[in-house]
Structure 1
Amino acid sequence: MSGKRYTEEFKIEAVKQVTERNYKISEVADRLGVTAKSLHDWIKKYGDSSSQH
């Protein structure tokens, strides 16, 4: 698969928008041009486990 690669910093910032600023996953994904699936995966990897919904 030859998908676009994002920096770790980009992913962490995207996760923060969901976990700290309470934006919806679909909203952040649309704004950043990534899939909701990718964002879910990043939240699993980088998100604070106590902030999982």
Structure 2
Amino acid sequence: MTRKRKPYKTYTKEFKLEAVRLMDESDRPATDIAMELGIRRNQLYKWKEQLSNKGNKAFEGPGRPKKQDQSEVTTLRQENERAERGA
């Protein structure tokens, strides 16, 4: 039986920038900030890294490509990984 995955939750650029700002300027632990915002702690660190690497170009575009927009090679790799885990 295959379980259907929930769709990814998307966040605006402004939300991400504010979350990173809160983490940088607050004395509170990242865990507390993440719980308050309803996200995972490691997501805060990923957004902070993206912002430091890309600067103003961070968080542009739609994010992760939708399943139907992935290349055939990517889809085949994912299927192969699932098959290897199942074996």
Flag whether TM exceeds 0.5 (same fold): yes
Distance 2:49 2:27 in 1: 16
Are 2:12 and 1:14 equivalent residues in the alignment? Answer: no
| Deviation string, structure 1 residues 7-43 (Cα, Å, up to 9, x no partner) | 0110000000011223311011000000011111011
Q: 2:31 maps to what in 1? A: 26
Measured after TM superposition, the shift of residue 5 of structure 1 is 0.3
Q: For the pair shown, which has the larger CA radius of gyration, 1 or 2?
A: 2
Query: Unaligned stretches of 5+ in structure 1?
Result: 48-53
Give the RMSD, CA atoms, in angstroms: 1.6
Query: Unaligned stretches of 5+ in structure 2?
Result: 53-87
The count of aligned residue pairs is 47
Q: 1:44 maps to what in 2? A: 49
TM-score of the superposed pair, with normalisation by structure 2: 0.48
* Structure with bigger RCO (C-alpha 8 Å, 6+ apart): 1
Alpha carbons of 1:9 and 1:29: their partners in 2 closer, same or farther (altered >3 Å)?
same
Q: Which runs of 4+ in 1 moved over 2 A?
A: none
